[in-house]
Amino acid sequence: MSEDRQKLIKSARQLIETDRLLGGQFIPAAAGGGSAGPAAVPAPPSMGLQEKAEALEAIDVAEVRPCVNCRLYQARTHTVFGEGDPDADLVFVGEGPGAEEDRTGRPFVGRAGELLTKMIEAMGLGRRDVYICNLVKCRPPQNRAPGPDEIEACWGYLIRQLQIIAPKVIVSLGNPATQNLLDTRVGITKMRGRWQKLPLIGEHLAGIDVMPTFHPAYLLRQYTGDNRGKVWDDLQKVMAVLGLKVRGKTN
């Protein structure tokens, strides 16, 4: 399938998913992406905390759990939709569930999840204060990176999660999350620590601040003082934007 056709199919699916949630017109992202959005994007519909929680739960229960849109459903134990504050200012987006996440149905609860929890707590927050999710909602075999078709199958779910939550900041964890959210092929080593703007991947989403940083699983493999310091620098930049007081550091 040609790249242009893949983009056309992806845009069409985003249109369907966005219209279902918002009942509005979807404006597809410009070819090639980039951090600049349109001059003006209408404000998202006002939703209260309870409405957001119910909207997220409805997508999870009615659509994600029974989803068979890609091959990943064949080996899953549980889907892993996401968890945290439905009205969070800060959303963490990873690539996909691992073994422990597949077993429990919760995101980031394995070894990488324990490290992410420490990172969040070092920011003076708890998991209940942020929202945590992934590009794909089922575990890729052997914890490999999700394929383009698998990401495409789950893309509408992620878009709608972000539209409902309407965060101020997204922290993209690792290459797959960063490259897909920002529509770029630049690697995380060059992207991390530099503020980006979310392109118009869905209505009302253009312009959200994105901070790319290393995935906790990478830190576990390369647990050096230099890498830990880089991630902590990235998180401090997020804290400054959100008005959070520095209270500690990652271990």
| DSSP calls for 203-230 | TTTTT-EEEEE--HHHHHHS--HHHHHH
In contact, 113 and 107? CB cutoff 8 Å: yes
Q: Mutual orientation of helices 111-122 and 225-242 as an angle, nearest 10°?
A: 50
According to the model, what pLDDT value does residue 13 have? Answer: 43
Length of the chain: 251
- pLDDT value at 22 more than 70: no
In contact, 164 and 52? CB cutoff 8 Å: yes
Domains of the chain: 48-240 (3.40.470.10)
- pLDDT tens readout for residues 79-94: 999 999 999 999 999 9
Q: Is 163 exposed, middle or buried (0-12, 13-18, 19+ CB in 10 A)?
A: buried
Instruction: Place 245 in a pLDDT band, splitting at 50, 70 and 90.
Output: confident
According to the model, what pLDDT value does residue 3 have? Answer: 53
In contact, 145 and 153? CB cutoff 8 Å: no
Q: Calculate what percentage of the chain has a pLDDT beyond 90.
A: 78
- pLDDT value at 108 more than 70: yes
According to the model, what pLDDT value does residue 32 have? Answer: 30
Instruction: Place 222 in a pLDDT band, splitting at 50, 70 and 90.
Output: very high
According to the model, what pLDDT value does residue 178 have? Answer: 98
**Tokens standing for residue 180:** 């897909």
- pTM greater than 0.85 (yes/no): no
According to the model, what pLDDT value does residue 46 have? Answer: 82
Average pLDDT, the chain: 85
Query: Looking at per-residue confidence, does 21 or 75 come out higher?
Result: 75
- pLDDT tens readout for residues 150-199: 999 999 999 999 999 999 999 999 999 999 999 999 999 999 999 999 99
